[in-house]
Amino acid sequence: MQITITGHHVEVTPAIRQYAEEKVAKVRKYLNTTINAHVTLKVEKLLHIAEVTIHANGVDLHGMEKTDNLYAAIDKVMDKIDRQAKKVKGKIQDKRKDVTQVIAGSED
């Protein structure tokens, strides 16, 4: 898993970096492939913006959240990414289930 964290108009401290890496790492339970993640943290006026893009074996997940707290923005954007990853995993499982049913049905 390769995670790149960048900051625009904000210094990415080791604590923020570790927090973001832990949150992004949780997506692995849904996507069992090599994951490249890019996290961009921004501050514009009074808003903290967290933007996450994940590329995993042909699947692209993207989310952006704006709040008044950087940690809350990271939490909210990762909730969005988790929902997207669950949806992708469900589609993959459904596709596999359909294929196995067709194979099992043709053996009779």
The model's pTM is 0.81
For 14-66, the pLDDT digits (tens) are 999 999 999 998 888 888 778 899 999 999 989 999 999 999 888 899 999 99
- Structural domain total, the chain: 1
3-state secondary structure of 66: strand
> Judging by DSSP bridges, how do beta strands 2-8 and 36-44 pair with one another?
parallel
Domain that holds residue 34: 2-106
| Average predicted confidence (pLDDT) for the chain | 87
Task: Write the CATH number for 88.
Answer: 3.30.160.100
DSSP notation for 2-61: EEEEEEESS---HHHHHHHHHHHHGGGGT--S--EEEEEEEEETTEEEEEEEEEETTEEE
pLDDT reported for residue 53: 96
pLDDT band at 100 (very low <50, low <70, confident <90, very high): low
